[in-house]
Amino acid sequence: MSTVVRPYGDTTGDGMVQLSFTLPLPAGKRGEGAALQLAGKMGVDPAMVVHSRAIGEQHTFYVVYGRVNHLVEPGKVVVAERDYPLLSAKEINAAIRARLRRKLVVVGACIGTDAHTVGIDAILNVKGIAGEKGLEYYRECRVVNLGAQVSVPDLVEHARAEKADAVLVSQVVTQRDAHLHNTREMSAAFREAFPAARRPLLVVGGPRFDELMAPELGVDRIFGRGTTPREVASYLVHAVGAR
């Protein structure tokens, strides 16, 4: 493999790229010049505006083709590998069947005073988020969504009664670090209530968590902003299988 590559239009090494964007400028010569200027700053030189179209009076859409002068060095690419494979719904169901020979039981809740179920519902409800169905959609998952403002003792009790494989907790409210306190309280309660080998997987999620804080908070995994149900399900299959 060569150490350096360029984008490929129709000839090796031609460096041709195509891009499109909108500028908040009226259509016209000045706008096209501005589009070329942006392309130039992006390393596209020479660039051609092949299409421009006014969208209303204040905006113009441009399609630009041109030769990009940057080099790509594949050897230097660093990939942040996920430590578990991202599976499809079908693969997730098959993996649960193969590994557990029963349904995977997931208990979810918002704990403390947090009434924002938007996160837990996005992950658990069939409706899901961003076009991906929630865990309820997976045939091999049994989901018990306890909703909002669940106390930690209640959560432990439900997890025990349902024989939960995993407990998902969502925390949106972060005033005075409530999300961190609540998570520590929750993980301590589970540690006290279950022997280590029988404890359900503890997973928390929310927009303000640092995904690297899991050991510090005593949970198995933290998911941050933009997490999809499939990522959570893939992780659960992986982590339950590893036990």
Partner 1 sequence: MSGKLGLDSAVVAEARRLAAAAGQPVVDLARQHTTVSVERAVLRLAGVGGADPDGIPWVNRLVDAVREQVGLGHGVAVPVFDALRREGHADLTLLAQKAAAGSVRFEVPEKTGNVRSAARKAVRAGIARIDQRRKERDRLVRRHGDPPRTPWVYLIVATGDIYEDIPQAQAAARAGADVIAVIRSTGQSLLDYVPEGATREGFAGTYATQENFRLMRAALDDTSREVGRYVRLTNYASGLCMPEIATLAGLERLDMMLNDSMYGILFRDINPIRTFVDQRFSRQIHARAGIVINTGEDNYLTTADAVDAAHTVTVSQLLNEYFAHEAGLADWQLGLGHAFEINPDLPESFRLELAHALLARELFPDAPLKWMPPTKHMTGDVFRGNLLNGFFNLAGMLTGQGILLVGMMTEAVVTPWLSDRDIALQNVHYVRQAAGNLHEDFTPGRFIQERAATVLGEAVDLLGKIRDEGLLEAIADGTFGIMRRPADRGKGLDGVARREPGYYNPAQDILEGTT
CB of 212 to partner 1, least distance (A): 25
CB of 102 to partner 1, least distance (A): 17
CB of 27 to partner 1, least distance (A): 12
Of 60 and 234, nearer to partner 1 (C-beta) is 60
Tell me how crowded residue 225 is: count the other CB atoms within 10 A of its CB. 11
> Using an 8 Å Cβ cutoff, are 169 and 109 in contact?
yes
- Among residues 41, 76, 90, 127, which one is catalytic? 127
> Using an 8 Å Cβ cutoff, are 16 and 65 in contact?
yes
Cis peptide before 7 (omega within 30 of 0): no
Strand, coil or helix: 86? coil
Of 42 and 129, nearer to partner 1 (C-beta) is 129
Total residue length of the chain: 243
* 127 counts as catalytic: yes
Q: Which residues contribute to the site for partner 1 (CB under 8 A)?
A: 20-22, 53, 55-56, 59, 61, 116-118, 121-122, 125-127, 129-131, 133, 136-137, 139, 145, 147
Cis peptide before 46 (omega within 30 of 0): yes
CB of 163 to partner 1, least distance (A): 19
> Using an 8 Å Cβ cutoff, are 112 and 172 in contact?
no
Of 44 and 89, nearer to partner 1 (C-beta) is 89
> Using an 8 Å Cβ cutoff, are 190 and 199 in contact?
yes
Of 30 and 139, nearer to partner 1 (C-beta) is 139
Active-site annotation, residues: 127
